[in-house]
Amino acid sequence: MSGAPVICFGQQPCGFFPRRFLFAKFQTARRLQAEIGGEIVFFFHDSDHDPRETQTTLRHRKTDEAATLNFGFENKVQRKWSPLHLKRIAAGWQANTARQLGAYVAAERVEAFKQVTAPNAADFCLELYRRMGLIDGMRIVRSSDPAVRRAGCAVTDFFVDLPHAGEVVRARWLDGQLKLHEGGDSYVTLPPATYTKEQVTPTRDTRLRWMQSVVQCTHYIAGAGEQAYLRKEDAPEITFVNRDPIDRSDEAYH
């Protein structure tokens, strides 16, 4: 690779107010850009399906008591298995949540939350991050984008988006079958299906190589958890950078 640096970090939709470790990635990327130049790419992995990713922990402004909030979704199938960019937000959730937020965040943050118009969890998170001014000037690459999926390299460990029970779900390819994880060692096996690259996304272990085949970054910012599982040998051309430390990393930044 040649030319200007490409500074990348990746994250699932990570709370409607972003978790503080994601904010630290934003800050680390901007610091690195000030030092070496180039562009910042936010690899937004909105194809993840785990509803726990969008849990948002806030602290009461008077008592400092922690409260964990999350989206309400239209139905159980969506909540359990649909990708975050297809998890539709339940009617009334935004208004009901907005009424609670004044006890936890400043008035301008409540107003930003109320102005979001996105219909699904991933778009809601991204729009609120944008309204907070956190991703200004960054290039957003979304794993749900069909063009990104077409451009991504082939991987042997992957998920496939498929119709099931009136929704689109994210099924894991395991032992030659498409399966939905019920929890523990329990799975629902789906009927055999044909699929195209536009339906395929990587697993955690193949995500770096897949992402890099599209983004072609020179630097990648990773948190402590990522450093433990990233297969750096899949992208030896990348300079890996630890994200800046931050306290209460799993709570929301607001």
92, exposed or middle or buried, with CB in 10 Å at 0-12, 13-18, 19+? exposed
Check pLDDT > 60 for residue 205: yes
Q: What is the pLDDT of residues 146-191, one digit of tens each?
A: 999 999 999 999 999 999 999 999 999 999 999 999 989 899 999 9
Q: Which residues pair with 214 in a beta bridge?
A: none
Q: What is the pLDDT of residues 110-132, one digit of tens each?
A: 999 999 999 999 999 999 999 99
The one-letter code for the residue type at 73 is F
The one-letter code for the residue type at 171 is A
- Domain assignments of the chain as residue spans, ordered by start: 6-145+215-242
Q: What is the pLDDT of residues 5-23, one digit of tens each?
A: 999 999 999 999 999 999 9
Q: What is the pLDDT of residue 1?
A: 47
3-state SS, residue 163: strand
Contacts of 13 (CB under 8 A, 6+ apart): 44, 46, 48, 53, 54, 84, 121, 122, 124, 125, 126
Q: What is the pLDDT of residues 85-119, one digit of tens each?
A: 999 999 999 999 999 999 999 999 999 999 999 99
Question: How far is it, in rounded angstroms, from Cα 53 to Cα 63?
Answer: 26
Contacts of 126 (CB under 8 A, 6+ apart): 13, 44, 46, 118, 135, 140
Sign of CA dihedral 42, 57, 76, 95: negative
